[in-house]
Structure 1
């Protein structure tokens, strides 16, 4: 294993919140016990934390996307043509719905002038079985759809796919990246410049705001999927959803 591969493994095993949590605790400790005073050290801590979170999450995104393209896309291509049963859905029905899903992704790519959007199936692990997620990094985009949604037939897969395409249309991956970086910087600023109880309250408020923003994003994508696949759904509704913003 090369040095860069070992570094990617270490980074992929680290959760994004490790960096801001460490920065907040370290900043509060330095403020109480360290010799530094004034705003200048605090500004350096805020800038360093924000940049580090941006870099760390960008690396995690690239690692996840590279892994998905390498492992998940061939699995999708296999199940799209293989004459094997998958759950309760006959192979012929699965082939049809997967073909329509591919056509829908190609249409989405053309409408939004994207280079490429890939489809993949995660490994059937306890987490990957029910996974449905959208990835974006360096202009590349990918949608992961777990076995669970293929097992349930044509009624579920189009809705799940439209939900994840809505995330790509709204650029939610990039929004989450910058939201977490900005929130981390604000948390470090509060840890340096405010009394510890106030700083703890600010960190709690930022955490709640982040969770609320995530829920709002999911609800907006649910609404976009409903507009595309709800009553009277069809290509007309899909086109309206592509032109508008949920």
Structure 2
């Protein structure tokens, strides 16, 4: 049974989310003290976290940062705000998805199921270790390392890298990436993929590998194993 922590201060909405997710046999937890969200996270050790942006004292972005400091657990943001910067900020902080309020519960459940399948099932059919551009990729730890150091990626970042490397030196379309990352891309902004790609490159730049993820304008992205001229 997957454990889901819902960081939501609207008691009515939390109750509805808990009831719906419980029908799918998820174990749902809420927050009693919004000053101690990280303590609750540590105690519960959830498989997925849902965070509202507007919360008492500290907003959801703050708690996302705190959680990301200690865990790569999948995070889904909820928000009644419709400014594009909220989605961009969420993705830059390492969120796996963003759901706009008001939302249909079937959409939320579908997104949760897609993330859980991707995060906790895909690695069982893949090799544990792979190499790319002289770097070692650890599928169990979601990490990549070379002589410059080791970086750990979020689930989305690692999944994108995996998809590109599995088809290295071949263009992977934006549509294919979105289809694989999010089961129903009708509810995903095209900008969401761009943010995730840019975030992945920024991480890879720490190992001087970002240049090997190249944009093919109007086509998609390609993971190279040769020196690229540039990337967008």
Q: Please say whether Structure 1 and Structure 2 have the same fold, judged by a TM-score greater than 0.5.
A: no
Q: Give the number of the structure whose residues are more often strand, by fraction.
A: 2
Q: Give the number of the structure whose residues are more often helix, by fraction.
A: 1
Flag the structure with larger Rg.
1
Higher relative contact order (CA 8 A, sep 6+): 1
